[in-house]
Amino acid sequence: MAATKPPYAPQFRTEAVRLVKESGKSKSRIAADLGLSYETLRKWVRQAEIDEGQREGLTTDERQELRRLRRENWILREERDILKKAAAFFAQETNRTR
């Protein structure tokens, strides 16, 4: 399995987006200078525009909240399924002892 690169530091992302907005250079040139893929930089700029209210979409905070809620929902479903199985098991055991 290939090793994945660690995520970029938030300060690095912020600085890269600032360079795109203020330098006047193309995204592809800045991406090459920073050692990023064009697509990565494009996504960072797009998300920054959403966070600043310049574009429609989910802000970073909303995405984090959605991710947290989905994770919590998954855990609750797992717990519910376990409890259903346990209840069915104990119901069978109770019927056998009578």
CA atoms of 34 and 29, how far apart (whole Å): 9
Q: What's the rounded Cα separation, in Å, for the pair 38 and 44?
A: 10
Q: Please report, in tens digits, the pLDDT of each residue of the chain (98 residues total).
A: 556 666 899 999 999 999 999 999 999 999 999 999 999 999 999 999 999 999 999 999 999 999 999 999 999 999 999 999 999 999 988 877 66
Reduced to 3 states, what is the DSSP secondary structure of residue 24?
A: coil
- Predicted model pTM: 0.71
| CB-based contact 46:55 (threshold 8 Å) | yes
